[in-house]
Amino acid sequence: MGLIRGLSGDMEKVMTEVRKRKTMKILGVAAICAAVAAGGIGVATAPSWAEPVFQSESSSPVRNEPGLAAPVVKAVELGVTPTDGAAGVNPAVAPSVKAVNGTVKDVVLATAGGEPVKGTLSADGSTWTALDPLQFDAAYEYAFTIVDQAGRETKKTQTFTTVATANEADAAVYPQNGSTVGSGQPIEIVFSEPVLNKEAMEKAVTVTASSGQAVAWRWYSDQRVRIRPEAFWASGSQVTVDLKLFGVDFGNKMIGNVDTKVSFKVGPQRVAIVDDLTKTMNVYFDGQLVKTAPVTLGDAEWLSPTGYAVIMEQERHSKFNAGSIGLKPGDKGYYPPLTVEYANRLTSSGVYVHQALESAWSSVGRVNVSHGCVGLLPADAAWFFNNMKTGDVVQTLNTGAPAVEPLEGYGDWNIPWAQYAKR
């Protein structure tokens, strides 16, 4: 019995040890399962409880490398326009700061000592965009703060400079803003610098007429363009020329520096038709004959040009000088300097509608004695001067001379509509 009790005691110890080992094994397996269930790396790798414990990211610097703790914070991708150190930046560019995987705050864009450029922040805080245009020939500095998805902040500064004053370009427009002109007045734009991309310029300038008339452009050079409708402007119409030139690239690094809008009104359609066969002038207002007058035109050596011309300017008293048309004392046709009454200029070279000299009054309506001008008797000259305006049309027929050249005034109407548009 004593032996049995002794064996039983030993067996009891063995069984107790076995039970302890089973318990430890079960606890170990449970620990592994718990780790997998909690998002651990699984039993195919070394048990997590066999490795050192990672610190919580809430109490340590945020990591950007994979690990067992919280998800990785993505690196912020930054896009800034203009780029750091950029030179010759177009002032029309809209500066911006964009953060991917982050947000932007505290953006200040300004010149040294200048007021900050106004800007707007996107709803998600990722993008700041300038609202105001920039200055020409200015150095700008960006200062801004980038915040990543873990809330860490990084402050940055960048600089850039805009287009120099020497590279600014603009344009002058005729007719002038607020003026009233005749129905034959083409629009003329003279650019301060050559325009190399004419198609882009035509898109940047919009011409609208209350009459709904379409227009065509004719480039006479890289700096001069004329614009007109197919027929004369409709009586009483309002025409607007909207030049969105700010930031437009003219070419050769020249940049438009201003937006301009010009509006002018068109008067009645007033057209004077001069016929060398009958030596008469018929004047029509909106298609109705309102005046007929006898004329004298250029003689055989100084034929009056034919076709359409437009009144360029009017002078009650105009000083004429034969030297302006190449004549000098002793030449046939030379005359000493004189003052002409009721002068209406038709060409740059000196063709006018004006009061004939007193010595020519007897020739008016009968014989041509001028140097190319249209001469009228005093009363008719006064009526023409007081009733016709700049931009009104004078058409001359049957003189045998060529038509007025486009740049000899406004001879654009002598070019057929189908051929007018030209770059």
13: left (phi over 0), alpha (psi -120 to 50) or beta: alpha
Q: Contact, 218 vs 226, CB < 8 A?
A: yes
Contacts with 97 (C-beta within 8 Å, 6 or more apart), sequence order: 78, 79, 80, 104, 107, 127, 128, 142, 144
Cα 35 vs. chain centroid, distance in angstroms? 65
Distance (Å) of CA 241 to CA 25, 120, 255, 292: 91, 31, 20, 36
Residue type at 1 in one-letter notation? M
DSSP label at residue 53: P
Using only the alpha carbons of the chain, give its radius of gyration.
Answer: 44
CA distance 74 to 150: 9
> What DSSP string runs through 113-156?
TSPPPPEEE-TTSSEEEE-SPPPSS-EEEEEEEEEETT--EEEE
Give the CB-side neighbour count of residue 115, counting CA atoms within 13 A: 7
One pLDDT digit (tens) per residue for the chain, 423 residues: 443 344 444 545 544 554 555 444 444 434 333 333 333 333 333 333 233 332 333 334 455 555 545 567 899 999 999 999 999 999 999 999 999 999 999 999 999 989 999 999 999 999 999 999 999 999 999 999 999 999 999 999 999 999 999 999 999 999 999 999 999 999 999 999 999 999 999 999 999 999 999 999 999 999 999 999 999 999 999 999 999 999 999 999 999 999 999 999 999 999 999 999 999 999 999 999 999 999 999 999 889 999 999 999 999 999 877 666 677 776 766 677 789 999 999 998 889 999 999 999 999 999 999 989 999 999 999 999 999 999 999 999 999 999 999 999 999 999 999 999 988
Measuring CA to CA, which residue among 169, 189, 132, 159 is closest to residue 247?
169
CA distance 413 to 404: 9
Q: What is the structure's pLDDT at 19?
A: 54
CA distance 102 to 309: 66
Measuring CA to CA, which residue among 403, 231, 390, 376 is closest to residue 291?
376
DSSP label at residue 322: G
CA distance 277 to 225: 35
- Mapped onto helix, strand or coil, the DSSP state of residue 59 is helix
Ordered structural domains, the chain, with CATH: 77-163 (2.60.40.3780), 167-266 (2.60.40.3710), 270-420 (2.40.440.10)
Q: What is the structure's pLDDT at 59?
A: 39
Q: Contact, 327 vs 334, CB < 8 A?
A: yes
CA distance 82 to 230: 44
Question: 263 has which bridge partners?
Answer: 240
Q: What is the structure's pLDDT at 12?
A: 52
> What DSSP string runs through 151-195?
--EEEEEEEEEE--GGGEE-EEEESPTT-EE-TT--EEEEESS--
First to last CA, the chain: 127
Tokens coding 230 = 């197919």
Class of residue 387 by CB neighbours under 10 A (exposed 0-12, middle 13-18, buried 19+): middle
Measuring CA to CA, which residue among 83, 78, 121, 75 is closest to residue 98?
78
CA distance 267 to 236: 5
DSSP label at residue 73: P
Residue 330: Cβ within 10 Å count: 6
Contacts with 329 (C-beta within 8 Å, 6 or more apart), sequence order: none
Tokens coding 253 = 């690094």
